[in-house]
């Protein structure tokens, strides 16, 4: 009996390992640009900067903070422990592993529903759909890539009545990104179909335990502040006109890159309406699709990488529709989606990331920061430029890697010029002042004069406590691409020089030059 059990496990394990290996090879091929491109988007630079702080003994939320869940910064930190922190290849390889695992779980679910050939169809579609994005969204080691394996696992486990494990998988998704909790919608639907309370209780227990344990480790106050209550301004919807415009723009981009998939989703819905989708008409899949749409829509920002959470469920729905049609349709769908994915993968090698990274600007600033500071010196950046921290290899002086939304009251993708101190978070400002005083930076970079990424909406002079620190303790060093770089004075004797110059014109440096 013992030997038979082990043999069975080997027989089952080998095909799974082989399938995962093949899917991983395809994933690596579609994301090969990860080994040559420095930074794909600001989120990577932000997370890389956070991971460096954690690697040097810092604490999450106390030494480096974001309004995101805690797992991904630690994944980056773990990757850096293996590959070093001078490249983002490590986190990107982890993201590839996560995507390959997502495809494997999608294969398992599709095979259980429609057979072995459908399993491979769904797995490849999942990888193709997850790659058919602009490089800054589809190639970066984003939160969503680490979240989707857990969301797929939650449904796969629920379909097999593994209720506690399903709840735990949903909790892991939430600990990667808060919107992962929307996967509880199809999971709860599957539990309710049993017509007993026990599955819901087990799901609740499995979901609550990891989150409570994490909150206990971090501290309940800090966890709730950064994961729940600190997201009010970020999640607040924009004016209705801007919301509608953003909605159609971003969904249009996704539909354009995924045109074959969108067409097949329409056919899948028609099959459901006609009763061709099986006894339950794929009700759990459509609820899953709805939950992913809700996850994409929170905050009405619709960033491209948000749509990654649609990839596995779209692949399953399309596979179901394809399984009810001819082999020619299957081939056409796979070939067309594959061609788009390959085109996006190749474009990642040559695409200009100027719209989100601005390398021509930030490279000059990085060189200036390196030239006027040592690796042990701290840097403070007023604005939204985490790639400068990353490329200059300088740690932030405060826990706030970016300041526009955390301190200035300016939220991303909100065309709102009303950036005043009274709109800013008072608790964040208290932490900022304490951090700044605890380890004052050698250099202060003000990106607002150049209006880099809307930093012009929040000129530094509008914020009295920050302005006073710069005027009293820093001198104007130089201007780089319209941005102002300040250097800390060596002693208090010179501290009054910058504050005695009288009023200055808007856009002018806050202090006198260092050699004056």
Tokens standing for residue 227? 């994961």
Q: What tens-digit pLDDT sequence spans the chain (516 residues)?
A: 334 345 444 455 778 999 999 999 999 999 999 999 999 999 999 999 999 999 999 999 999 999 899 999 999 999 999 999 999 999 999 999 999 999 999 999 999 999 999 999 999 999 999 999 999 999 999 999 999 999 999 999 999 999 999 999 999 999 999 999 999 999 999 999 999 999 999 999 999 999 999 999 999 999 999 998 875 555 566 667 777 777 888 899 999 999 999 999 999 999 999 888 877 779 999 999 999 999 998 877 788 899 999 999 999 999 999 999 999 999 999 999 999 999 999 999 987 765 567 777 888 999 999 999 999 999 999 999 999 999 999 999 999 999 988 898 777 665 555 555 656 678 999 999 999 999 999 999 999 999 998 898 889 988 988 999 999 999 999 999 999 999 999 864 333 333 334 445 667 898 888 875
Are 265 and 314 spatial neighbours (Cβ–Cβ below 8 Å)? yes
Tokens standing for residue 407? 């301190």
Tokens standing for residue 370? 């390196």
So what's the pLDDT on residue 418?
A: 52
So what's the pLDDT on residue 423?
A: 61
Helix residue ranges, H only, 274-411: 283-297, 311-323, 327-350, 359-371, 386-392
So what's the pLDDT on residue 495?
A: 38
So what's the pLDDT on residue 338?
A: 97
Are 262 and 337 spatial neighbours (Cβ–Cβ below 8 Å)? no
Is residue 84 packed enough to be buried (19+ CB in 10 Å), middle (13-18) or exposed (0-12)? exposed
Between CA 281 and CA 271 the distance in angstroms is: 8
So what's the pLDDT on residue 351?
A: 78
Are 446 and 487 spatial neighbours (Cβ–Cβ below 8 Å)? no
So what's the pLDDT on residue 275?
A: 87
Closest C-alpha among 165, 168, 166, 185 to residue 309? 185
Length of the chain: 516
Radius of gyration of the chain measured on its C-alpha atoms:
25
Tokens standing for residue 58? 């810092």
So what's the pLDDT on residue 239?
A: 66
Between CA 180 and CA 115 the distance in angstroms is: 28
Between CA 458 and CA 222 the distance in angstroms is: 27
CA within 13 Å, CB half, 406:
24
The answer for residues whose C-beta is within 8 angstroms of residue 294's C-beta and 6 or more apart is 179, 182, 185
Are 425 and 406 spatial neighbours (Cβ–Cβ below 8 Å)? yes
């Amino acid at each position: 009996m013992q030997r038979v059990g082990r043999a069975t496990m080997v027989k089952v394990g080998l095909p799974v390992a082989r399938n995962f290996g093949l899917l991983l090879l395809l994933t690596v091929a579609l994301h090969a640009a990860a080994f040559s491109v420095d930074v794909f988007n600001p989120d990577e630079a932000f997370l890389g900067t956070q991971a460096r702080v954690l690697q040097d003994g810092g604490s999450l939320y106390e030494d480096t903070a974001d309004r995101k869940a805690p797992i991904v910064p630690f994944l980056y930190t773990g990757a850096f422990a293996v590959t070093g922190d001078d490249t983002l290849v490590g986190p990107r390889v982890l993201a590839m592993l996560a995507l390959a695992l997502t495809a494997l779980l999608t294969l398992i679910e599709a095979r259980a529903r429609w057979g072995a050939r459908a399993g491979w169809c769904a797995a490849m579609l999942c990888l193709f759909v997850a790659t058919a994005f602009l490089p800054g969204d589809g190639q970066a080691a984003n939160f969503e890539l680490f979240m989707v394996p857990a969301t797929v696992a939650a449904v796969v486990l629920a379909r097999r009545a593994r209720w506690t494990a399903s709840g735990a998988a949903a909790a892991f998704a939430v600990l990667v990104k808060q919107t992962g909790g929307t996967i509880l919608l199809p999971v709860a639907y599957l539990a309710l179909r049993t017509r007993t309370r026990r599955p819901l209780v087990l799901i609740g227990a499995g979901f609550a335990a990891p989150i409570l344990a994490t909150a206990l480790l971090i501290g309940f106050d800090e966890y709730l502040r950064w994961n729940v209550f600190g997201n009010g301004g970020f999640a607040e919807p924009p004016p209705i006109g801007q919301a509608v415009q953003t909605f159609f723009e971003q969904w249009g981009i996704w539909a354009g890159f995924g045109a074959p998939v969108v067409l097949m989703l329409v056919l899948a819905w028609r099959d459901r309406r006609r009763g061709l989708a099986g006894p339950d008409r794929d009700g759990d899949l459509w609820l899953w699709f709805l939950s992913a749409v809700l996850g994409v829509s929170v905050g009405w920002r619709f960033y491209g990488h948000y749509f990654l959470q649609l990839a596995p469920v779209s692949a399953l729905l399309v596979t179901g529709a394809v399984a009810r049609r001819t082999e020619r349709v299957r081939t056409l769908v796979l070939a067309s989606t594959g061609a788009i994915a390959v085109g996006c993968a190749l474009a990642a090698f040559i695409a200009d990331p100027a719209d989100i990274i601005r390398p021509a600007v930030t490279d000059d600033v990085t060189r200036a920061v390196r030239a006027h500071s040592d690796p042990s010196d701290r840097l403070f950046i007023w604005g939204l430029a985490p790639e400068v921290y990353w490329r200059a290899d300088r740690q932030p002086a405060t826990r706030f890697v970016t300041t526009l939304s955390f301190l200035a009251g300016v939220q991303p993708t909100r065309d709102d010029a009303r950036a005043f101190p009274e709109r800013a978070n008072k608790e964040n400002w208290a932490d900022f002042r304490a951090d700044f005083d605890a380890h004052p930076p050698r250099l202060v970079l003000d990106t607002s004069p150049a209006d880099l990424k809307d930093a012009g909406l929040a000129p530094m002079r509008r914020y009295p406590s920050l302005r006073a620190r710069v005027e009293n303790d820093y001198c104007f060093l130089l201007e780089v691409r319209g941005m102002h770089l300040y250097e800390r004075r060596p002693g208090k004797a010179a501290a009054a020089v910058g504050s005695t110059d009288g009023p200055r014109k808007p856009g002018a440096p806050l202090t006198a030059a260092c050699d004056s």
